[in-house]
Amino acid sequence: MTPNGAGVKTQAICRDCDTEVQGPSCPACGSVRIVRHPELFSLNIAHIDCDAFYASIEKRDHPEWRDLPLIVGGGVRGVVSTCCYIARIYGVRSAMPMFKAKQLCPQAIVVPPDMRKYAAASRQIRGMMEALTPLMQMQSVDEAVLDLSGTESLHHAPPAIVLNRLARRVEAELGITISIGLAPNRLLAKLAAERGKPRGFFVFGTEAASVLASEPVRILPGVGPAQAKRLEAMGITTIGQLAALDDRAAQRLGDEGPALVARARGQDTRAVNPERESKSISAETTFTTDLRGQARLEAELWHLCEKLGRRLKAEHLAAAGLVLKLKTAGFVTRTRSQRLANPTQLPETIFESARALLAREADGTSFRLIGIGAAPLVDEGQADKGDLADTTTPRRRARQTAIDDLRARFGEGAIRRGRG
């Protein structure tokens, strides 16, 4: 919720029944969950963010954990994938080393991630959003942006009410919650969604620039630690200070300077494009003890390639390129990427390219982590077709399908390749 403009009539609805509200509570159901804003019924761009997505699904499936701190991650040397809001009270955060998370919250329940379960829930939410507007762009497994312009006649309600109904439907049918940001553009919608979590509905309108002026620059997308340091060296620590820079000063920030200043002013011209989903699929593991040498690293890489192949198949996607990730014993991250001649879902094909990338890095360095990711992604219909010059790929695909079928019936350990 945001402050009212002077002399402007505030529009407000009840989060629990959609009734238009004038006072502090809903006259129909008595709820005090009210969203208010002078432009509530005229804004069309929404950012949807699931609240602590993995952890929320685990708590949904284990009601006895509802009031307990929960961390999704694993391994003594692993990292936190996500954690519930109770765990966050203790200082636990995503991407934090697991040993540190356990020090901060030793009583937390720790569960390994179950990506198939999370992907299934993501597909259900996606289906609900696609029913609202064709202009829906997934940002990740638990995040999306929607353009609801022109949909009021279809839904017989303004976007704010349509989004309100979506939040209640997700909670009722899937047992998890979402937070909504509503604004005139994608940037402000994302910032709004982050301010209302969890189970929030926050609105930014014409007042956004003034409200954000005192906020730290690091909350802006694209401002990482290094950029924040450079700005601080220039005496710029708030969004308002950044927004006040003229064109000449903006050029001092590099090629991205003018765009960065525009973001600080709340400006964003990006359209919602369903064909350009910011999505990647990957698998990684942190070793119990550091590993070195091509052979030992390849053994770990093969298991990850199998896992990546399964995830691609579950998402009906294929890898058009690969990204190898390594983290040294000294916590230095190395990434190497390569486009593939043909898109694939096959672990063998992924492994052949990935091991070539690994060979360039296996120089005796000790590594604590290895990962393999698929980027960019394409539809599975483009994958592993083969041709007159490639008669092995169709056979590989048939063999992999048979392996997958056996594992689905009898478990992951039912059949193993010699390499594994």
DSSP letters, 165-218, are: HHHHHHHHHHS--EEEEEESSHHHHHHHHHHH-SS-EEE--TTHHHHHTTSBGG
Mean pLDDT of 8-26: 90
- According to the model, what pLDDT value does residue 261 have? 92
Domains belonging to the chain, first-starting first, are 1-212 (3.30.70.270), 218-264 (1.10.150), 281-414 (3.30.1490.100)
pLDDT over 80 (residue 116): yes
Using the 8-state DSSP alphabet, how is residue 371 labeled?
Answer: E
- According to the model, what pLDDT value does residue 171 have? 97
Given 143, 284, 298, 306, the catalytic residue: 143
Residue 261's nearest CA partner among 273, 274, 272, 247 is 247
How far is 269 from 288, CA to CA, in rounded Å? Answer: 46
pLDDT over 70 (residue 374): yes
Cβ within 8 Å of residue 88, ≥6 positions away: none
- According to the model, what pLDDT value does residue 141 have? 84
- According to the model, what pLDDT value does residue 403 have? 72
Residue 375's nearest CA partner among 305, 289, 278, 294 is 278
Q: Which amino acid does the sequence have at 287?
A: F
* pLDDT digit string, tens, across residues 88-98: 999 999 888 88
pLDDT over 80 (residue 6): no
Decide: 172 and 184 in contact? Cβ < 8 Å. Answer: no
- According to the model, what pLDDT value does residue 74 have? 75
Tell me if residue 143 is catalytic. yes
Decide: 7 and 14 in contact? Cβ < 8 Å. Answer: no
φ and ψ at residue 329, rounded to 5 degrees? -60, -25
How far is 250 from 257, CA to CA, in rounded Å? Answer: 5
- According to the model, what pLDDT value does residue 393 have? 72
Quickly state the pLDDT bin for 402 (edges 50, 70, 90): confident
φ and ψ at residue 100, rounded to 5 degrees? -70, -40
Quickly count: other Cβ atoms within 10 Å of residue 412's Cβ: 10
Quickly state the pLDDT bin for 407 (edges 50, 70, 90): low
Cβ within 8 Å of residue 253, ≥6 positions away: 227, 230, 231, 245, 260, 261
Mean pLDDT of 359-385: 88
Quickly state the pLDDT bin for 419 (edges 50, 70, 90): low
Quickly state the pLDDT bin for 277 (edges 50, 70, 90): low
- According to the model, what pLDDT value does residue 380 have? 78
DSSP E strand stretches across 194-344 = 201-203, 281-291, 317-328, 333-344
Decide: 346 and 384 in contact? Cβ < 8 Å. Answer: yes
CA angle 390, 393, 395 (to 5 degrees): 115
How far is 163 from 125, CA to CA, in rounded Å? Answer: 12
Mean pLDDT of 25-48: 97
**Distance (Å) of CA 46 to CA 29, 131, 160, 344:** 26, 15, 9, 34
How far is 213 from 381, CA to CA, in rounded Å? Answer: 47
Beta bridge partners of 12: 36
DSSP E strand stretches across 62-148 = 70-73, 80-83, 109-111, 136-140, 143-147
52: left (phi over 0), alpha (psi -120 to 50) or beta: left
* pLDDT digit string, tens, across residues 233-263: 889 999 999 999 988 888 877 777 888 899 9
φ and ψ at residue 218, rounded to 5 degrees? -65, -15
Q: Which one has a higher pLDDT value, 16 or 113?
A: 16
φ and ψ at residue 278, rounded to 5 degrees? -85, 85
Quickly state the pLDDT bin for 228 (edges 50, 70, 90): confident
Beta bridge partners of 152: none
* pLDDT digit string, tens, across residues 71-80: 998 766 778 8
Mean pLDDT, the chain, whole residue set: 88
- According to the model, what pLDDT value does residue 5 have? 41
Q: Which amino acid does the sequence have at 262?
A: A
How far is 52 from 72, CA to CA, in rounded Å? Answer: 10
Cα–chain center distance at 107: 27
Helices (H) and strands (E) in the chain, counts: 15, 15
Beta bridge partners of 220: none
pLDDT over 50 (residue 7): no
pTM of the prediction? 0.70
How far is 413 from 306, CA to CA, in rounded Å? Answer: 13
Residue 110's nearest CA partner among 193, 54, 194, 26 is 54
Decide: 257 and 247 in contact? Cβ < 8 Å. Answer: no
